[in-house]
Chains A and B, each alone.
Chain A
């Protein structure tokens, strides 16, 4: 069929009917950005920041169409750019995702090939060279504006700040095996959020205090992680692996270390959002808006979570269990390199699920095939909230979080998600259907 179209195009003459919808390109385009982040081993909070910028330009480009309000109305410090708005804004929006990624990601050069591939595909679909050229120009212009915004969000000053030095005292986080990596992004709370007021707007209740007393609440929490880990059912084991989302798990054998890579938690939810828009047959414009707002929500949820992580600097279960209960115990999942409280996956999944529930409703069943690349099957969920709840509890099964970090993290994510939804509603953002 395609070939036939191509043939017709080459032979020229008749004007082709407009090719169907651009939205089929959306998921692969966002995923191309994801692949570069996997290559670069971008850490989870940084990944959410990159997603938010990669989608912001596209979001702005589709605004004003399909009753979509401009993000400039509600995104902190983002002022509506003055742009030449002729041409096909959808093409520009699509291209802008890659172009922003190209400029902002460490190995952004890898997206040059994706850009070329996208243009070639669009050409085949019948877009004219002139249209495409105009779209590229518009996208490049928009991407530069986005980069200018990104340059002022304090990210560039992270390297000037004090690196994390483990706090002295028993209950505090210390790097964990096997890599003993330094604490990731101790100053992430300084990054400017997009939708929420400040990093400390949704401070969760404090963690159960550390105690070595075997009758203490903390010890009970620890024992729960330990016994869960030792008595994992196949299903729980599967759930833990399904939501592992560790961008870089180090496997060692003697002197050899290999990094096994997975999509980050934020990347996983970006893909869920892509899949949902496709399954629901949402228009291109609305899909871009949903993806962009998902990215912003994830970004802010990470900022909120990371604020708490380095406030409480709580010790990981692996460290406690090894010291107090079983020196050889290892969690099913590799403990990620930052403090325990609250669970990042719980905060960000819950927040993202609240946003997506706003768009799609609470009974939107979907099939997630994100993890197929990482040797796990497709998984069907009855709703976003069900998926988020599973992502949260998976951290207990995986042996990397205590229950209070999960439950209080869910609450933190829920409050944040609700705030975001209210704010968006106030600014005229509407559900998808």
Chain B
């Protein structure tokens, strides 16, 4: 080998050079001698049309094969021989592949690799998976047993590991904690199912595609999949595998990602040899085309979080060029069949510690990394928080929509010229785009920051498997990446050299194996948690030596090791900056963790109802809206209908029943008031309700407002509100109202605005069905004292798409002023004067934060005697971005003068504002655009200026959004001061807020509810909130209370929250769309 002649020269870096140095430094092949490349040969017989996982790449494994303290590297190649590089020190390696006997079969298709000491002789063995459209004999996986002299012997058959299926990768771990390593084998089908009615395939088993759990029985691996509850459907498209004790019960759990429509599986270990698939309980939605996965605690709360990858591009151009999910019928089929909500973007599932997860990849800034393979959460800058490296790239952009639509023309042209069409013509016609891998720094606040430039990861490649490892034993993690058609990348980490950071490397030597050990390191005020499960990322296997970055810490307070066999070992006062080898010793068994009692306790709802709403699709009516408006229920309201001193509850109807009033009984139970139905949800949709004494007879009357969208027409009875007057005997009878049917309504707020002694009403207009985003009509209804109302002229009758309102006497003149909020508008203030209402918005809210406001709540949060305002907004956990500097904008007009409003939403992506609408949606809305944007590439960079002429744009109306965060507006003397609520409050839209001192510490706290799932598919379901308790510190600032401590686990889009006094104390009744009524009690 000519390379062996090259002498290594130790690289001496001058301090001057260091200062300009990026964190990572690519090492040349001349230094590393790692000349491996996963070279793909395509030809007429062997290509992506024959085997669709042709460009999925191969893996890397890192481990110390000769126990010399230096991690060695093993690469799989799809078609070429495997390579084993022995670490010589000084970041120089020697290729020993041929002599070692690990090169694998020729003419076969190799995939993932994992390392484990399978036979317990203290030497790492290698397990290589095979797949591809080749003969079964060529597909049998191989196990290379380490003979101790850097040679290996293939013994898969002997161990029962020569599986002939279509394998992706295996993970070895002790699932039953009996002291030996078992095996989970991840497989995939090689035939995609285009038919989406797949649930029936869940009755079938596919021997070659189905995953397997193999139990180690005295050195032989026996298939126990069926018994253990492992799915083996033909729909298995397993691309990612990670093992972790996700629920922290001491038993290793398994996460399996699935490509295409089959959802991912989370197998929770029952501890009795079986697993239960629990993903739909834990997660609210999943990545659709899930690929690689990592499970690690990235926010240092001691709980493993889950990151799975998909293929949504970051830049506008590729988002517009490549196929995205926009098909509502497909999505409906998917959800109807229990395939769950799946979206095409990376998913970061934050572990809430109570069995639920909050998906916050978009909020964290890591959701869009293009066609991505390997996520690796590890501390690259040694600051004590795990950062994130993501490989990406695909040899051919075959989801390019121009290719889909217009390659056929090429074929026709060829035919016209009487030329034959070759398969390879098609393959080669697919564009190829190399991309830089992504690297993100952990901001230590749940979010990440892109560091591609600063950290020197910018070379465009097509990258798949990857590992991190401290190859030079200097205390920071190098990155090693397997690339297609290009030498593997090796990046030297300069963290130690540049920043003098501290670290700890831990090599665990368990009595049986270290795999499955869990380590918590306490240092520098941080608690860091890691698990020894080396299979993570994609097709790859990490080092079993754990690496902890320790920032500026000079000493480690303690290290806690939970060995797989259950024993716990504790080390204290451990010096930093060392490679520590720990042998399993006696230790203690851990005390069983007592579940902490939360502040709130979930109780059975005294009104037992499951809401069954109409699932309409509002986008069939106005295809360019962002959200739907049909889902308004369930609406709850309380009042004492029968005057017995007990609070009764109105619950709006759904498709199975009409709305009604539930009368509270003396024993705290509720009974439906017979003979009265309120509203008919098949004709209309109740969107708000309030009990109040309209006619001053001392008995509660009921007002219900009508909302909704899909099939309702403005100015028809569907949108006419209804008033029910109490006859003084607990019976409600419909009374007259003026015509209030101009639009859908959102809220009703009672106030005697004219101080004449009777209650008047503000009724907020939400949207005009079919005419979004024109401002709907809001009403101020003046009461004549008899319960007869008159709509009076007010300046806020067509002010915007109102979502909520509050009456509050802001200027202390004894007349309550009106606060309003809504979509695409600021929180507005109308001062109530004797001469009418005056817009005082700019005085009270000088910054006029244009938001997608969802709710308002009033209370004194800082104890200064003045009421403050909590304004619930859309949150920052979506694709939509908006700020003052980069506002989101909604342009609208009937551009093509055909009678329909064409709304175009724009927001900034990478510094430029683009229309959100896809080319197909645009061309479908405005036929003239078909001439402008014949090709997807023509539209891919288009902005509003390319869509419309200056004259056309002049005639449009424009709404903006500059603030998406939910905030606290603190009342100062003359105005409100904005204080942004903690990040956890930004996980999802906030539709309801309760302001109260919930924990009894004398300081006002906040309880937020929300979520919103009825959005465009490109936005998807925003559902990361489970009821968010924010503990007040008395000065208007708040701190998030973890879910196990709050005790809240509210699911669904919360439409109503009722604080209810009952015999059992205060109950919190929560109505969410298509969910059972949920109820919490504060003991």
Residues of A that sit less than 8 Å from B by CB: 35, 38-41, 106-109, 155-157, 159-160, 162-166, 174-175, 177-178, 180-182, 248, 250, 252-261, 319, 322-323, 327-328, 330, 372-375
Residues of A near B416 (CB, < 8 A) are: 373
Asked if residues A165 and B931 are in contact (CB atoms below 8 Å), the reply is no
Residues of B near A107 (CB, < 8 A) are: 930-931, 934
Bound form: Cα–Cα A256–B430 in Å = 10
Which of A164, A252, A255, A322 has its CB near the most chain B CB atoms (within 10 A)? A255
Asked if residues A163 and B623 are in contact (CB atoms below 8 Å), the reply is yes
- The smallest beta-carbon distance between A175 and chain B, in angstroms, is 4
Which of A162, A174, A180, A256 is the one whose CB lies under 8 Å from B52?
A: A256
**Shortest Cβ-Cβ A-B pairs, 6 listed:** A254-B52, A178-B194, A261-B408, A160-B900, A106-B930, A256-B398
- Flag whether B954 is at the interface (Cβ < 8 A): no
Which of A109, A250, A253, A372 is the one whose CB lies under 8 Å from B49?
A: A253
Given A174-B329, A374-B415, A257–B323 Cβ distance below 8 Å?
yes
* 9-residue interface stretch from B140-148, B196-204, B487-495: B196-204
Bound form: Cα–Cα A175–B924 in Å = 18
Residues of A near B289 (CB, < 8 A) are: 255
Asked if residues A159 and B900 are in contact (CB atoms below 8 Å), the reply is yes
- The smallest beta-carbon distance between A249 and chain B, in angstroms, is 9
Asked if residues A259 and B405 are in contact (CB atoms below 8 Å), the reply is yes
Which of A166, A250, A252 is the one whose CB lies under 8 Å from B329?
A: A166
What residue of chain B has the Cβ atom nearest to residue A334's Cβ? B194
What residue of chain A has the Cβ atom nearest to residue B323's Cβ? A257
- Flag whether B224 is at the interface (Cβ < 8 A): no
Which of B196, B399, B415, B426 is the one whose CB lies under 8 Å from A257?
A: B399
What residue of chain A has the Cβ atom nearest to residue B902's Cβ? A159
- The smallest beta-carbon distance between B692 and chain A, in angstroms, is 38
A-B contact pairs, 9 of them (CB 8 A): A157-B899, A159-B898, A163-B621, A177-B195, A253-B192, A256-B398, A256-B399, A261-B408, A261-B411
Residues of A near B948 (CB, < 8 A) are: none
Bound form: Cα–Cα A248–B48 in Å = 22
Residues of A near B408 (CB, < 8 A) are: 38, 248, 258-261
Asked if residues A39 and B406 are in contact (CB atoms below 8 Å), the reply is yes
Bound form: Cα–Cα A180–B194 in Å = 9
What residue of chain B has the Cβ atom nearest to residue A182's Cβ? B329
Residues of A near B900 (CB, < 8 A) are: 159-160
Asked if residues A180 and B398 are in contact (CB atoms below 8 Å), the reply is no
Given A258-B426, A259-B407, A323–B53 Cβ distance below 8 Å?
no
- Flag whether B412 is at the interface (Cβ < 8 A): yes
Residues of A near B924 (CB, < 8 A) are: 159
Given A38-B412, A165-B617, A165-B620, A258–B404 Cβ distance below 8 Å?
yes
Asked if residues B934 and A40 are in contact (CB atoms below 8 Å), the reply is yes
Asked if residues B196 and A180 are in contact (CB atoms below 8 Å), the reply is yes
Residues of A near B197 (CB, < 8 A) are: 319, 322-323, 327
- The smallest beta-carbon distance between B1080 and chain A, in angstroms, is 35
Asked if residues B899 and A38 are in contact (CB atoms below 8 Å), the reply is no
Bound form: Cα–Cα A259–B406 in Å = 7
- Flag whether B665 is at the interface (Cβ < 8 A): no
What residue of chain B has the Cβ atom nearest to residue A181's Cβ? B327
Residues of A near B616 (CB, < 8 A) are: 165
Given A164-B620, A258-B403, A258-B426, A252–B192 Cβ distance below 8 Å?
yes
The 0/1 profile, CB within 8 Å of A marked 1, for residues 726-741 of chain B is 0000000000000000
User: Which of the four size classes fits the interface of chain B?
Assistant: 35 or more
List 16 additional contacts besides A175-B330, A254-B48; criterion CB under 8 Å: A38-B412, A39-B409, A159-B898, A159-B900, A159-B926, A177-B196, A178-B195, A180-B196, A182-B327, A253-B52, A254-B52, A254-B192, A256-B49, A256-B399, A259-B404, A328-B195
- The smallest beta-carbon distance between A139 and chain B, in angstroms, is 20
Bound form: Cα–Cα A255–B408 in Å = 17
Residues of B that sit less than 8 Å from A by CB: 48-49, 52-53, 192, 194-197, 200-201, 289, 323, 327-330, 333, 398-399, 403-409, 411-412, 415-416, 426, 430, 616-617, 619-621, 623, 896, 898-900, 923-927, 930-931, 934
Bound form: Cα–Cα A362–B699 in Å = 85
Asked if residues A375 and B620 are in contact (CB atoms below 8 Å), the reply is no
Residues of B near A178 (CB, < 8 A) are: 194-195
Asked if residues A252 and B398 are in contact (CB atoms below 8 Å), the reply is no
Bound form: Cα–Cα A157–B899 in Å = 7
Residues of B near A373 (CB, < 8 A) are: 412, 415-416
Residues of A near B195 (CB, < 8 A) are: 177-178, 322, 327-328, 330
- The smallest beta-carbon distance between A17 and chain B, in angstroms, is 32
Bound form: Cα–Cα A60–B641 in Å = 76
Given A109-B931, A259-B407, A260-B411, A177–B194 Cβ distance below 8 Å?
yes
Bound form: Cα–Cα A35–B623 in Å = 30
Which of B53, B407, B898 is the one whose CB lies under 8 Å from A258?
A: B407
Bound form: Cα–Cα A372–B399 in Å = 29
Asked if residues A160 and B931 are in contact (CB atoms below 8 Å), the reply is no
Residues of B near A256 (CB, < 8 A) are: 48-49, 52, 398-399, 430
What residue of chain A has the Cβ atom nearest to residue B56's Cβ? A254
Residues of B near A163 (CB, < 8 A) are: 619-621, 623
Bound form: Cα–Cα A107–B323 in Å = 22
What residue of chain A has the Cβ atom nearest to residue B195's Cβ? A177
Bound form: Cα–Cα A252–B260 in Å = 13
- The smallest beta-carbon distance between A264 and chain B, in angstroms, is 13
- The smallest beta-carbon distance between A321 and chain B, in angstroms, is 11
Residues of A near B200 (CB, < 8 A) are: 327
What residue of chain B has the Cβ atom nearest to residue A186's Cβ? B620
Bound form: Cα–Cα A165–B615 in Å = 11
Bound form: Cα–Cα A106–B415 in Å = 24
Asked if residues A157 and B621 are in contact (CB atoms below 8 Å), the reply is no
Bound form: Cα–Cα A319–B195 in Å = 9
- The smallest beta-carbon distance between B239 and chain A, in angstroms, is 12
Residues of B near A252 (CB, < 8 A) are: 192, 194
Bound form: Cα–Cα A42–B927 in Å = 12
- The smallest beta-carbon distance between B575 and chain A, in angstroms, is 51
- The smallest beta-carbon distance between B323 and chain A, in angstroms, is 7
- The smallest beta-carbon distance between B45 and chain A, in angstroms, is 15
What residue of chain A has the Cβ atom nearest to residue B407's Cβ? A258
Bound form: Cα–Cα A426–B934 in Å = 43
What residue of chain B has the Cβ atom nearest to residue A260's Cβ? B408
Residues of A near B619 (CB, < 8 A) are: 163
Asked if residues B52 and A375 are in contact (CB atoms below 8 Å), the reply is no
Bound form: Cα–Cα A261–B896 in Å = 30
Asked if residues B930 and A180 are in contact (CB atoms below 8 Å), the reply is no
Bound form: Cα–Cα A313–B36 in Å = 58
Bound form: Cα–Cα A165–B618 in Å = 10
Given A106-B934, A164-B620, A180-B196, A255–B330 Cβ distance below 8 Å?
no
What residue of chain A has the Cβ atom nearest to residue B621's Cβ? A162
Bound form: Cα–Cα A254–B197 in Å = 17
Bound form: Cα–Cα A301–B195 in Å = 32
Bound form: Cα–Cα A377–B798 in Å = 66
Bound form: Cα–Cα A112–B979 in Å = 61
Residues of B near A177 (CB, < 8 A) are: 194-196
Bound form: Cα–Cα A35–B413 in Å = 10
Residues of B near A40 (CB, < 8 A) are: 930, 934
Which of A180, A253, A374 is the one whose CB lies under 8 Å from B48?
A: A253
Residues of A near B617 (CB, < 8 A) are: 165
Bound form: Cα–Cα A375–B411 in Å = 10
Bound form: Cα–Cα A323–B196 in Å = 11
Which of B195, B621, B930 has its CB near the most chain A CB atoms (within 10 A)? B195
Asked if residues B399 and A106 are in contact (CB atoms below 8 Å), the reply is no
Residues of A near B49 (CB, < 8 A) are: 253, 256
Residues of B near A162 (CB, < 8 A) are: 620-621
Bound form: Cα–Cα A248–B620 in Å = 23
Residues of A near B399 (CB, < 8 A) are: 255-257
Bound form: Cα–Cα A159–B48 in Å = 38
Bound form: Cα–Cα A162–B403 in Å = 30
Residues of B near A38 (CB, < 8 A) are: 408-409, 412
Residues of B near A259 (CB, < 8 A) are: 404-408
Bound form: Cα–Cα A148–B399 in Å = 39
